[in-house]
Amino acid sequence: MSALMSVGRIMTNKVKLLALGVAGACFAFTGTTLGQASSPWGVAGTNVTRPIGQWPRSRTPAPYRVDYRDLDGRIARIMTEPAMVGLAVAVIEDGRISFVKGYGTTTAAGGEPVGINTAFRWASLSKGVAATMVGELAADGRVAMDAPVGDYSTTLRLPMGNESRASVADLLSHRLGVTRNAFDDRLERGADPRALRPMLAGLKQLCMPGQCHSYQNVAFDASSEIVQGITGRPYGQAVAQRLFAPLGMTTATTTRAGLVSSRSWARPHVGRRTVEVNDNYYRVPAAGGVNSSIVDLARWMQAQMGAAPSVVPQSVLQLIHAPRVATDRHRGQFNQAMGASAYALGWRDYNYRGHRLIGHQGAVMGYRATVLFDPVQRAGIALLWNSQTSRPVGVQLEMLDRFYGMPRTDWLGLDKVQTPEAFD
């Protein structure tokens, strides 16, 4: 089945889409009527339908808690900084997409404006896709999460033959017991991950499988081999058919070719220099291969909130979002704000001032990505950008403070004099 299914065909699966037809505009959605959606800035979109899924309609949708005129203005201010090139932002409140907008341009030299349909790389946000796909196969009875990885057709080998002890859940939660980011350097030099995975057997064992957390990319991508072995289809085709197409994620792809053939796509940047897109992390698609527009990332976030149970059942969400292992992350503004965190299956679990959040961050050369949401309040924020600065991370925290009605913290550092070094 083609990943580019027609809207009509998708609608026959009874999954409602959010179709945004105007690139580069900003919307505040009512979530209650079809047709045009008005914006507080006088900008209107066309061909707007309700977000995917059917939330209970026993009450009138609550007014938005976030002042989007204020948030938009603060984002616009960071976009004037040299470290920023292009950025796309989507916010969800009460299960509805309440704000979506593109900022800047696809290249530092000018190029086209970033729109809401401009494709970026997800980097490690891709891990949540892999976990969801394997979780669905588990729900079908085709994968056992507690079965050893060695029971499946993968190239993964671990010290002491521990592929016969490490479970599929250990793989998806980075509990294999080998050194962090094993062989990423070789992957980035062009090595084939299928040749690297057997070499993991020669590494020192940090702990027994399931005992500690050690983040992986090359090893994690063994999950793409599990999917391919069970479905009989290449990983990209399998996730497109099972997840992307039914959710209406028409810009979502898992290859370099998919990115560069997009109608609009953001080029990667190191500083203000545009660089080439390489294939390194596309060769581990489960770990870092997904591309899409901000609109499709918003659709994905809605599905992870439970808005599309016919595509991503609640039982799968409970399986993949449940925390499995504590993680030690203290560096940086975001991790300090989140405090203690845990890793689930392809997702991170956070606690922000008493609110449980699910999310992930991603980085490959020239791109950054982040998604963070409250599964109970059905609210969250996603950002995609095409430079290596961490500046937009503060947007998440400012949005959360506004949503939860907390005293405002100047997470973006815009209310005080900044030095250039503070932006990186």
379-400 pLDDT tens trace: 999 999 999 999 999 999 999 9
- In order of 101, 311, 397, the CA distances from 230 in angstroms are 39, 19, 40
* 22-26, 47-51, 221-225, 332-336: least confident range: 47-51
> Quick check: 281 and 37 in contact, CB under 8 A?
no
pLDDT at 2 over 70: no
Q: How confident is the model at residue 369 (pLDDT cuts 50, 70, 90)?
A: very high
pLDDT at 26 over 90: no
> Quick check: 84 and 389 in contact, CB under 8 A?
yes
Residue partners of 283: CB distance under 8 A and separation at least 6 = 187, 192, 193
Q: How confident is the model at residue 46 (pLDDT cuts 50, 70, 90)?
A: very low
Q: What is the pLDDT of residue 80?
A: 96
pLDDT digits (tens, 9 = 90+) for 153-205: 999 999 999 999 999 999 999 999 999 999 999 999 999 999 999 999 999 99
Residue 270 φ/ψ, nearest 5 degrees: -115, 110
pLDDT digits (tens, 9 = 90+) for 314-331: 999 999 999 999 997 667
> Quick check: 9 and 247 in contact, CB under 8 A?
no
pLDDT digits (tens, 9 = 90+) for 259-305: 999 999 999 999 999 999 999 999 999 999 999 999 999 999 999 99
Domain ranges, ordered by start, for the chain: 7-126+234-423, 143-230
> Quick check: 239 and 212 in contact, CB under 8 A?
no
Cα separation of 311 and 294, whole Å? 20
Q: What is the pLDDT of residue 422?
A: 39
> Quick check: 286 and 221 in contact, CB under 8 A?
yes
Determine whether domain 7-126+234-423 maps to CATH 2.60.40.1890.
Answer: no
Q: How confident is the model at residue 420 (pLDDT cuts 50, 70, 90)?
A: very low
Cα separation of 174 and 28, whole Å? 38
pLDDT at 4 over 70: no
> Quick check: 103 and 75 in contact, CB under 8 A?
yes
Q: What is the pLDDT of residue 45?
A: 29
Looking up tokens 């979002």, which residue turns up? 321
pLDDT at 419 over 50: no
Q: What is the pLDDT of residue 61?
A: 60
* Reported pTM: 0.87
Q: Identify any residues that bridge with 292 across adjacent strands, giving them in sequence order.
A: 120
> Quick check: 398 and 374 in contact, CB under 8 A?
no
Q: What is the pLDDT of residue 330?
A: 66
Mean pLDDT to the nearest integer, 96-106: 97
- Would you state the structure tokens that stand for residue 111, as one six-digit string? 């190029």
Cα separation of 143 and 141, whole Å? 6
Higher pLDDT among residues 63 and 406, named by residue: 406
Closest-CA residue to 400 (of 388, 390, 418, 412)? 412
Q: How confident is the model at residue 60 (pLDDT cuts 50, 70, 90)?
A: low
Counting Cα atoms < 13 Å in the Cβ hemisphere of 128 gives: 28
Cα separation of 362 and 234, whole Å? 23
Closest-CA residue to 89 (of 115, 127, 52)? 115
Closest-CA residue to 395 (of 69, 41, 78)? 78
pLDDT digits (tens, 9 = 90+) for 227-271: 999 999 999 999 999 999 999 999 999 999 999 999 999 999 999
Q: What is the pLDDT of residue 366?
A: 98
Q: What is the pLDDT of residue 39?
A: 28
Walk across the sheet containing 110-113 and list its strands: 110-113, 96-107, 86-93, 379-385, 367-374, 355-364, 348-352, 341-343, 325-327
- Would you state the structure tokens that stand for residue 115, as one six-digit string? 């729109």
Rounded to the nearest angstrom, the gap between the alpha carbon of residue 390 and the centroid of all alpha carbons in its chain is 16
Alpha helices in 122-183 (DSSP H): 126-139, 168-172
